Structure 1
Amino acid sequence: MASNPLTGTKVFLMLVAFFGVVIGVNVTMMKLAIATLPGTDVDSPYAAGLTYDREISAAHDQAARNWQVNAHIERRAYGGAMIQLEPRDAAGRPMTGLKFAGRLERPTDKRADLSVELSEAGIGLYRGNAAAVAPGQWDLVIEAEARGQRVFLSRNRVILN
């Protein structure tokens, strides 16, 4: 049986094939990684650092108000979700006249975030609906404004099945 001798041309072709496969896999993985990258948490870490002191001050002001905001989220049969808020002041009285905004944020993918418009449905009762909410973990973010200033912020992890 005659064997084919290993020549310089064969070695060169094997090296080109090997590195071609490695480079091809790397390029494919890089394209997939870039296509599925959800982005950064903040657009500018420098600007986020500058607002840090304001956020701490706002958190202290919120704690001093001693408000209690009960949030309830309910999954609907059509795949949406209904959010209901019941804000109470320090004395336990229902609060009216606030402008509430809600967001359902996906912890793993900011592209899936959903805004929920909350409107006053009664005395101290705010409701809103989100359409087509995928099952899984979400962060329910609630913000309240009074006279153009944020007076309440809450972030809670919820699981929707």
Structure 2
Amino acid sequence: MSTDTHKPREFTGRHMLIVIVSFFAVVIGVNVTMATLARKSWTGLVVENTYVASQQFNEEARKGRAQAALGWKGKLTIASGEVRYSVADAEGKPVPLHGVRVLFRHPAYEAEDKAVTLAASSSGSPANTGEFIARHTPKDGVWIVEIDADAGLTSPFRDVRRVIISNGALQ
């Protein structure tokens, strides 16, 4: 009767070297992949020149306070492939507008940004209804909407909102 004895396989230094090299290869590969994807998808540019932007901050804050003192409220509607915008004064009456420009900015991917110029609604003159409209359906997701409405003031009425679009409609 013969008994076959197998020697258990040893874990050698070579095995440990293979485990360590494999581990770091995976970590480095994932890091390089993620860094490449991040670099291609966003430039990281927030402003062209931070010094100039900081110098303009007080002026922009002053404009914002002056605009808030007007008591105007903008109404944005996005549905059925249309973007509509109007402004009402503190008493709820329509503010006559001369033009409206809307910029849809994606918070993380600037290649998706889209500027849309709205035209006066055909349901009446812009002086009566104050409503402007354009055909546009933004992709579903989160958007920063920057609206510049020309109401004949020294600077446009500015309305900036963070909105969610779902099934082509404002939520």
* C-alpha distance in structure 2 between counterparts of 1:34 and 1:46, whole Å: 24
Q: Which has the larger radius of gyration?
A: 2
The answer to which of 107-116 and 15-24 deviates more is 15-24
- Quick check: 1:128 aligned with 2:131? no
Instruction: Give the superposition deviation at 1:112.
Output: 1.1
1:106 aligns with 106
Instruction: Give the superposition deviation at 1:52.
Output: 0.3
2:145 aligns with 140
The residue type paired with residue 146 of structure 2 is V
Out of 71, 75, 81, the position equivalent to 2:79 is 75
Greater strand proportion: 1
User: How many aligned positions are there?
Assistant: 154
1:155 aligns with 160
8 Å contact from structure 1 (residues 75, 160) kept in 2: no
Q: What is the TM-score normalised by the length of structure 2?
A: 0.68
Taking a change above 3 Å as real, the CA distance of residues 75 and 17 of structure 1, as seen in their structure-2 partners, is same
- Quick check: 1:56 aligned with 2:61? yes
1:6-30 per-residue CA deviation (whole Å, 9 max, x = no partner) reads 9xxxxxxx99998777766554443
1:73 is paired with a residue whose SS is strand
Is there any run of 5+ residues in structure 2 with no aligned partner, and where?
1-11, 13-18, 167-171
1:93 is paired with a residue whose SS is coil
The residue type paired with residue 35 of structure 2 is M
Taking a change above 3 Å as real, the CA distance of residues 63 and 16 of structure 1, as seen in their structure-2 partners, is closer
* C-alpha distance in structure 1 between counterparts of 2:66 and 2:152, whole Å: 15
Taking a change above 3 Å as real, the CA distance of residues 135 and 47 of structure 1, as seen in their structure-2 partners, is same
Query: How well do the aligned residues superpose, as a CA RMSD in angstroms?
Result: 3.1
Instruction: Give the superposition deviation at 1:146.
Output: 4.4
Q: What is the TM-score normalised by the length of structure 1?
A: 0.72
The residue type paired with residue 67 of structure 2 is Q
Instruction: Give the superposition deviation at 1:42.
Output: 1.5
1:5-62 per-residue CA deviation (whole Å, 9 max, x = no partner) reads x9xxxxxxx9999877776655444333311224322222111111101101101110
Question: What percent of counterpart residues are identical?
Answer: 29
